[in-house]
Chains A and B, each alone.
Chain A
């Protein structure tokens, strides 16, 4: 059982040496030294504290085990004390009295005097320190006062602007603003004010720095300053007005010029004239409209119109400098390089569009809707797929005749014009439309209207000799040029589409034209393909669809396929017209057995065409190899055989870097030997030998090896079980924020509650004080009256006694 409170108190007092054995009188008399007194007080205080059970807060359930470290992880002291509520409460109280109480007292009160005297309340500062601080504060305030860029304010030496060693101060005003004569008086005022200010400042400087200014002086200074600022503002505003007036004056001239220009362009508009009238010369139309009010609707409108017209008015461009030969060549080379780059990109199938258009997620999958179709990943059977290279630059409204290079992918017009200006830079000019600029001066009579259907085209072209085809087409295209009338665009589109159809029918005429005529028609279509790209593409696709449906290969089809091969870039990885075209050709080659002369020649032509398609991209066509092999085995006449051998040699050369060339060419050796073609045989043998030498085993999988998934547990250094370890960083972050918020909220609520308690307490105290004061006053008054009454009563008694005595 622990000893009693009293015993413990006694023991601790003895320990501290406060109580001890009895002292002699002498010792008592001698008294205690100050040092001992202080120590004694401290010791008493600590004893008092330790005996107050509410002074220190402890854990409600003390820890089970002894802790040897002075402080635990949570920052609690070793003895398990959580805090000192008494002290913290009193601290809070003090703080509230300093802040909250003052605020509450100052509530609903306006004005008051804030004491900003330096060191007035601080007993720790000596007089010298106070003086020093006051001085330094004053210097700082002076420095801070003006704008850094305020030239007139610069009274400090280091801030002064000089020129040639002399200050700029004296003649600054005259030099800068001597344009207007009408503001002389204003200048004068300004000067006066400035002088006054300077005077004031010098006076201030002369004074003792730490002398306190009198109130009157301070007020004077303030008034002067505010006057100066007001004056400055006024001046700036008037300057602005001046400038605006000036501009308005000029505007009338400008508008007159503009009006004249617009009149020249189109019919003169009355509104424009009204505004252009110089009658109120310098007045802003907006302002005028405001003043006049009646035309308030019209005037701003006209103003806006004019503004817009001005905005859209083409600025005079500098004329193109005449370029030197090298520059022209460099530009042409750059252009060619750019084109080649974009072609290469398309060949690799790396256009931006095809990348973002992933072929995987095709919603329209006819075959396996519910499950994933592996084949659809590669575009098989999925209805829509892919990509196309860059879209058209619609704003490029360059006139076709000036720009014979058909391409949508050119970004700048200037480049195009450069290319067309210098024909040799691109290597191909179309003579087709060369004489266009003179118009139809050579007197050629073409059809007056633009034929828009196949029938109309046939009607036009059937009656003219082949030689006139070019001239006729040219004249049709010139007459229907879109620059003449916007509707001509549709006409030309139709004409182009009809021409494609016409081309397909051309070889089946009773008297088929020569190759030149095909060339002319194809080139005209090519030339139109830029403007009428959509209609021509659709027409070609229509032709392809027909071929697909009929499964035959007529000479007309061959011509169409040839035209596709020249008009569209055949090296593209995917092209909406070229890809179906090559599949069609391959289908014919794959499904036809070369037996008749007709199939043999058609096959030879198609083979040559296929090779032309793949000249750049060098893609492999199995059907061609197979067909050629079959043709060599089957065919009998040398005339029919020759083109196939040419095809064989050209594809052998084209595909000479394919790794499977030996497998590809070996089957040809035997038929070539039987056909007795030593030249071809030799060439093939050479290629085979080269291929054999260049052959290496495949090493396709030089990939970085995939990492094996680790199953080892993640080890956390300095693991703390009280902490949350969340893998998800974002979630952890939000958790942390939530916790923080909760904590803050709790704290804030606690504070508010304490504040409210404090306020209530204060109010109560105030009320009590008031009541007590009232009580005191009342009692005082009562006592006074009673005293008076008693006095009067005594007086009365006295008087009565006196009167009785008299009696």
Chain B
């Protein structure tokens, strides 16, 4: 007797983007009725794997992939998400794909509406057939019942609490009759504890009905509760796979974060002679409404003269902290700089308080791409500090000072030399510089304000290895020689661990914990998963 083939098999999936290998032969087997957790840090390859599974156009556009996807034993090659859905694969999105002004039933049946027969309008195909509302609501009812959701199908989505929307998404996937494999992508991220509980119950229920579930999450505790088996990806490789019983939260956390020996030899900075002690920045109950990176009640104390790291998974809010402190997104809470209360939501106030920001959005927020290097460096100083101006420096005539081009050029030249900016000269437009050199201009732009606190977000994103080292060295130099306090936000944990005195991991908009750079991998992994250490 042979057992039936697994619901889904991924066999030796390999994918590279422009020579950059992101998946190196990943295998994954998903049995009927199994809940399989897929875990990994950002960039581990989870999204690419899902894109391949769903036949997203981006895969074909970048040269396709190697390996085989088999559904119930039969090889498939989906050319579009629609084909994947028709093949029986469904996805519960992290962000809701629901139309607020439509009823529950209209959303569940979106673009799959049951139609009434027509004779008159036959030549128009389905376009002019009326919706069969009776069947629509009956089907929706059945799907809602299947996940035990006691809710009228006539309610508008906009009238529902956020938590319910996730369930409507699930009902929609369940309603697709041929559904065999259902992917849950961080489904509990926006749910309250009680709702998350219900969701996990629904997942179990669906699994018992024979649907195979692929569960992508960062909450390890949920994995241990509902998953049958676990696959961990790291740097595009499957580093561990097996039944849940053979692993533990600690083991998963360590495996997710752990590095090979060679990359483990990160130069952790020698301890300082004197540890920074006095508090320069006190943050209490900070909430920042930055889309996709919202901060929800975060507390922090930054000490004078330290390099403080903010890490964590994408979307957990680490990026929002610096943007909130600089007043770039609507912010509430209390922030004290040197003991003085900072007026929030006023970028000018933040600058005046001695904070300076190198944005993660280099090309959008950080630089004026069509302007010259010297102007890019000089503009904030002219604006905030009245530097590089001739004429009246104070009084009501201050605004009529004129720009001192010579001084600005001299300053730009000195910065170009000091930061080793590779350029044809200070009058070159920054848009023409390479990423690494643009980042250096950003730093020069921040430094010209003589800040007490320098906030740097993703300083090494999109720049090559050599430039990375230069930027990081520069941060350390500014910190050690000029006593500058640096708050560095980065998705690359290794980078934080190489320069920071302390590292806070931000999870779900709050500080999950603060660790020294030499803390073991497992602790970082646990904090990223929202577990206590």
Q: Indicate, yes or no, whether A interacts with B.
A: no
Instruction: Spell out B's residues near A (CB within 8 Å).
Output: none
Residues of A at under 8 Å CB distance from B?
none
